[in-house]
């Protein structure tokens, strides 16, 4: 089959690779019908996430049709069913899964000892996202083996929904939704969202659905800002305005109650001193993260407010903020 494979920073190729096969009774094989590129994939493309190996298959936002099922998953899945596959691989039985903390499943990361040394504690196994998270081949391919398939799937109802209507359930929408939900948004709250990429757009809309008084979106890409504005947000272009000053203007000098980092480790912040400092250190491989957004959120957030971090960080910052769906609340 064909798959998009990582061969080094900025070197992604469409390769011919072996077809996946059932390796465990709980496996299933999915024929991919749609997939997406995540902002997290950019960190792999740019070479900032450790643990990638030559030939790794990319991708963790995908869906498709079940074409084969292991004997232990036949009660949950049938050949021909359409499913969305989430980023996180879950056993559904460990203590964390029973608590609903699926992004830190205790069983699915087959390299959890290495991940524990890197991050302090392991994440769940993740599709297409470094050997620190299990080294599982991803979904930017014709077929994918899904471990723990009886739990790691979302069935698509047989009511005519298109791939485009349900694909985002694999990562983008639940990440944005969780980022907003864990803020405990109140009707009097101003919610500021740094980053208007796909996750940021979902976060903005989630915050509005949850009843925020005001949602403020921060980015520098005109098309993203226009989309955020169309979704109901007040926008700040950080190339044209000072973010902290503008946020204070919009909140009567008190700052937003809830601040959400939907950017992560490759934040851009114009020519601010800390942004230049982080960029130089990252270029010299002296750090993996540019935490400008976290600093800015801490500075401007109203006292007793909440910081929510769905953005991906690695290395030292990543020890405090689990990858992607394992967001932090401060």
Mean pLDDT of the chain: 89
Nearest to 164 by CA among 37, 3, 33: 33
Q: Is the model's pLDDT at 225 over the cut of 50?
A: yes
CB 289 within 8 A of CB 315: yes
The pLDDT of 196-201, averaged and rounded, is: 93
Q: What is the pLDDT of residues 83-124, one digit of tens each?
A: 999 999 999 999 999 999 999 999 999 998 888 877 778 889
CB 284 within 8 A of CB 276: no
Contacts 24+ apart (CB under 8 A), 325-329: 325/87, 325/88, 325/102, 325/103, 325/171, 325/174, 325/175, 325/178, 326/101, 326/103, 326/104, 326/123, 326/124, 327/175, 327/178, 327/179, 327/182, 329/182, 329/183
280 or 188, which is more confident: 188
The SS3 of residue 118 is: helix
How far apart are the C-alpha atoms of 155 and 77, rounded to whole Å? 9
The percent of residues in the chain predicted with pLDDT above 90, rounded, is 75
The tokens for 161 are: 């929904």
Q: What is the pLDDT of residues 12-43, one digit of tens each?
A: 999 999 999 999 999 999 999 999 998 889 88
Q: Which residues pair with 211 in a beta bridge?
A: none
Q: Is the model's pLDDT at 309 over the cut of 50?
A: yes
């Amino acid at each position: 089959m064909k798959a998009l494979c990582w061969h080094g920073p900025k070197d992604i190729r469409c390769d011919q690779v072996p077809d996946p096969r059932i390796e465990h009774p709980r496996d299933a094989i999915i024929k991919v019908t749609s997939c997406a590129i995540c902002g997290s994939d950019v960190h792999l493309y740019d070479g900032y996430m450790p643990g990638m190996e030559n030939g790794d298959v990319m991708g963790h936002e995908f869906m498709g049709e079940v074409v084969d099922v292991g004997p232990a998953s036949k009660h949950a899945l049938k050949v021909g069913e359409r499913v969305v596959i989430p980023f996180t691989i879950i056993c559904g039985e460990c203590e964390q899964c029973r608590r609903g903390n699926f992004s830190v499943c205790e069983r699915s990361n087959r390299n959890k000892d290495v991940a524990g040394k890197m991050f302090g504690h392991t994440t769940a196994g993740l599709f297409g996202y470094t050997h620190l998270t299990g080294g599982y081949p991803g979904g930017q391919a014709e077929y994918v083996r899904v471990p723990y398939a009886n739990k790691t799937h979302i069935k698509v109802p047989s009511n005519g929904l298109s791939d485009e209507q349900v694909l985002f359930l694999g990562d983008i929408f639940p990440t944005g939704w969780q980022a907003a939900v864990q803020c405990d948004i109140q009707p009097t709250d101003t919610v500021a969202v740094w980053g208007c990429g796909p996750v940021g757009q979902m976060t903005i809309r989630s915050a509005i659905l949850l009843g925020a008084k005001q949602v403020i979106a921060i980015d520098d890409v005109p098309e993203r800002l226009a989309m955020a504005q169309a979704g109901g947000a007040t926008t700040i272009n950080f190339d044209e305005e000072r973010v902290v000053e503008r946020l204070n203007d919009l909140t009567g000098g008190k700052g937003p109650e809830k601040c959400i980092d939907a950017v992560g480790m490759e934040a851009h912040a114009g020519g601010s001193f800390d942004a230049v400092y982080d960029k130089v250190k990252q270029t010299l491989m002296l750090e993996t993260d540019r935490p400008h957004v976290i600093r800015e959120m801490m500075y401007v957030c109203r006292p007793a407010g909440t910081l929510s971090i769905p953005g991906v960080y690695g290395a030292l910052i990543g020890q405090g903020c689990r990858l992607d769906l394992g967001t932090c609340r401060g």
